[in-house]
Chain A
Amino acid sequence: MSYDVAIIGAGVIGALTARELSKYRLNVALLEATNDVAMGASKANSGIVHAGFDAMPGTLKAELNVKGCAMMPELCKTLSVPYKNNGSLVVAFSEEEMETVKELYNRGIKNGVPHMKIIGKDELKAMEPNLADNVCGALDAQSAGIVCPYELTIAATENAVTNGVEFKRNCKVTAIDFNNGEFTLATTAGEVKAKYIIDAAGAHSDEIAKMIGDESVKLVIRRGEYFILDKAVGNTVSHTVFQCPTKMGKGILVSPTVDGNLLIGPTAEDIEDKDDTSTTPEGLKTVKTFSVKSCPSVSTRNAITSFSGLRAHPVSDDFILGPSKVNAQFIHASGIESPGLSSAPAIAEYLADIITKAMGGVEKNGSFNGVRHDVFRFRHATDEEKKAAIEKNPAYGRIICRCETITEGEIVDAIKAPAGARDVDGVKRRTRAGMGRCQGGFCGSKVVEILARELGTEVNTITKFGGKSNILFDKTK
């Protein structure tokens, strides 16, 4: 099969770009090296939709962040993805930091950020009473929000597949050839031919570029560690609370999540191994120390889990978007660090625009439907909706995950969905089964059973997240 476009990497950028391209009459393949979408930076980041005052005026980051932030609410609604416009605060602890706050405000004005204001201590404490007593003031950016990053990726992929994009998992690109105006990609799932490539391979996008002889993508892999705290303390703050930024990033934030938990982190540590998402004792300690500075009541005694995510920091400090100097049919989408998630909807449009302009005269896909199929969420349904759903499908009456109230019906839906779940973590990201207080202690084995049943396989072939992450060995004696 020869495709018009092969997108390498099913993170939030690859997925949204695939969906954007499915608006046109194009054959698009979305190639993912692992067992699921959103397995890199897209599953482990802060989930913040930044207002857009951080990036320097004139950069792609600045332009696409402000644009993406404005697009996010409507996109999330269309894709049934949780989003909340909770606003953000950059908190200053000294007069010197208040100067930084003013600088950020001015930068925001230049970048075109709407609804910002600088507030003093009293107003700040009235808005967020749990902040430390030594705060001086803050930059209040009302357009900022929070979103579930992996759910956005999952939804975008599902919708792209519904609109004709082909999703290939466990399809790691190992070599790229170019002959007669067409690329041939050698992958772990066979050969793929495509006229255009979009390199959205995240931390590995530099390696992909090198496969066509393009050495220009220079990345530093930066790791960030986080804690997720119990919903019992989810309302410690209502805004996303940043401290003043440093050259390593935006610092440790304290934020509610769209699911009602409290998120604290991330650290920023440059590392060598591009897949090393382990947490460290030092990193976790740093998160604790700095989050308490913003909110003294935050305690990791309420932690339900910790995790780390990797971001591909471009040495150039700006997103790398556009045709390669080596081959114009190879489009870079690299170095998408923060505000990458916030910018993602705008980046997808930007990349689709490059492709359609380059190909010239591409017809619109008349049957495109951007609305994601209905996803039933038992925990959000009214009694009447619950009754109706169980009548239609009794599996919605069987609770599998007791902490998050997730039903068997929702788990089966997640497996059967376009580009659906194939492993335990995939079910978890799509349904939240196993994401609660007990972290899958009770429901884990039931999810394994349901996966095996729906996929027609033995339970000991089921993995946590693909590869060799099997959960069970042989049968007992």
Chain B
Amino acid sequence: MKKSRRIFSSIYMWIVLAFFYLPIVYVVFFSFNSSKSLSNFTGFSTKWYEEMFSNRSIMEAIMVTVVIAVIATAVSTVVGTITAIGMSKSKKVVREFITQTNNLPMLNPDIVTAIGFMLFFTSLRISTGFVTMLLAHIAFCIPYVILSIMPRLRRLDPNMAEAAMDLGCTPWQAMWRVIIPQIKGGIIAGALVAFSMSFDDFVISLFTTGPGISNISIYVYSNVKRVNPTINALSAIIVYVVTAILIIVNVIPMIRDRRKGKNYEAITEIR
């Protein structure tokens, strides 16, 4: 009885993993196809990577995507953190009000937000382009940052800042040295969510961008008409970069810990 349940749960797990990873493996596999086909593998070749790197539109799209994601993450993290700290110190009514207004954009369907932005910019006669797209990205990232910081702040002892100031901190120092380190986990999580939201956003970007500015999603979507493996190559490179970052982020602390451990051993040995 117990054994069969274990078999069932492991099968279930493998199915879930297959659903997650097989499509990615498929995309990466066909990025090395030697012909234009997306479903018939005819031989190994890296020509689609060469084609991708020599395609100006793709390189510009990557550039725009990364720059927008980095700036939007930075700005929305700062604004979100300040707002969250401010909210934790304000009256309940104000806090409730801001929480609700913060939740609305996240529940709102992307397409509504997108059309709203487009009409907003058009009615103000602002011509859409890089700046409008960036503003829109910052706007839709902030709620996620606030959402991920709020629980941390709630767990924080409200007297912490006062205690710090009692012990001689200026208010500025109290924030930097006491509050921010306590909520650091939430800030990093918020920044990561903001970055990935901005990186793969399509709908809002499409409606807020202007001539000459496309991000990766817009480029891919408008070229799905006659797909060729350059799109696979582009997607595959994103997969490589993400995998590399994940490995680095996970391995480096491990190495650091081990080194620390060694130092510790050395010190104790000397003693």
**A and B found bound together:** no
